Amino acid sequence: MLNTQASLSKTRKQIESIAITNNIALSEDDSAVIIIDQTKIPNALEYKKISDLESAYEAIKKLEVRGAPAIGIFAGYTMYVLALKNRDLSYEDFYQAFESDKEYLNSSRPTAVNLSWALNRMEKVVTDNKEKGVEEILSLLKEEALKIHNEDIEMCLKICEYGLSLLKDGDGVLTHCNAGPLATSYGTAQGPFLLAKARGMNIKVFADETRPLLQGARLTSFELSRAGVDVTLICDNMASIVMKNGWINACFVGCDRIAANGDVANKIGTSGVAILAKHYGIPVYSLGPTSTIDMNCPDGDHIKIELRDPDEIKEMWYERPMAPKEVKCYNPSFDVTDHELLSGIVTEKGIVYPPFDINLKKLFDEDH
């Protein structure tokens, strides 16, 4: 049966058999968070230890760790590691230092809701247990960080199952950016492709390169080809022709924030994919955990879009500038896909179909 503990355990083993899934972890002595430095892929698979606030901020800002769920997991572990440095302080001073670290880390990237969601969970542990003393709070913080990670693993496994239920053997799927195990724990938008491969299904994936930071080229094609998935890399402006050729049966994309009405913020270029897919009659699904749904955000107009360094467009990845030095650049990291362009939102609780404003609310009403 779908999503029983036995089936999830089987799903986990199947994905682990072909994919890298240990992208974030605590060091053995709890002094650092260990990550795979995603900026080095595909040329090197390097692990990096993060043990101080500034390095943690830079790891998120520079995309050494990226992907909304992965950022949330990283934030939980980081707040625990930082809190350990203040174990000798009084509760009042401990909490003040914790709050300062939290606010600084939260400012690293504004669009993905998982960062603030995880930080708020960690802070709640501190405020709800002030009478227990700092040492016990530290133990509870570690427990909460591990819980955030383990919850994401279970959510990803369920999302992989629900996502795969939308595909059949031989389907072609277009994906944009990277939402595999590197960006999560076991994958959201790319997880079903890994699961399909492990189960002997033939899914043909077309991965957009995802300008300007090339997450599709560097990360998605790396993960999928390494796992033996049939993946073809295309430039972003080639999405229309592969759809017109009849090679695409569905589009699977991730999400960094989902508004209450179903508008989805995801990597820049996602909305263009959705518009093209609508023209060609191809269903578009956004896959992500319910922690990415922000019911306090009414629609996409209320999602703050991160603007990044213009040099990512003009100079990054090249030995010489690819545009005049003086030219202006507009470099938003995300765009918002209107809910009317989506066929469904795949969560760990099931597939949500339109009307999204009503059915997303039901997901949370069912918890009470």
Q: How many CB atoms lie within 10 A of CB 362?
A: 10
Mapping DSSP onto H, E and C, the string for the chain reads: CCCCHHHHHHHHHHHHCCCCCCCEEECCCCCCEEEECHHHCCCCCCEEEECCHHHHHHHHHCCCCCCHHHHHHHHHHHHHHHHHCCCCCCHHHHHHHHHHHHHHHHCCCCCCHHHHHHHHHHHHHHHHCHHHCHHHHHHHHHHHHHHHHHHHHHHHHHHHHHHHCCCCCCCEEEEECCCCCCCCCCCCCCHHHHHHHHCCCCCEEEEECCCCCCHHHHHHHHHHHHCCCEEEEECHHHHHHHHHCCCCCEEEECCCEEECCCCEEEECCHHHHHHHHHHHCCCEEEECCHHHEECCCCCHHHCCCCECCCHHHHCCCCCCCCCCCCCCCCCECEEEECHHHCCEEEECCEEECCCHHHHHHHHHHCCC
Report d(CA 98, CA 83) in Å as an integer.
7
Residue 35 token pair: 């990550």
| Closest C-alpha to 334, from 258, 256, 241 | 256
| Closest C-alpha to 184, from 225, 220, 144 | 220
Catalytic residue numbers, as ranges: 256
Q: At what angle do helices 191-198 and 5-16 cross, to 10 degrees?
A: 90
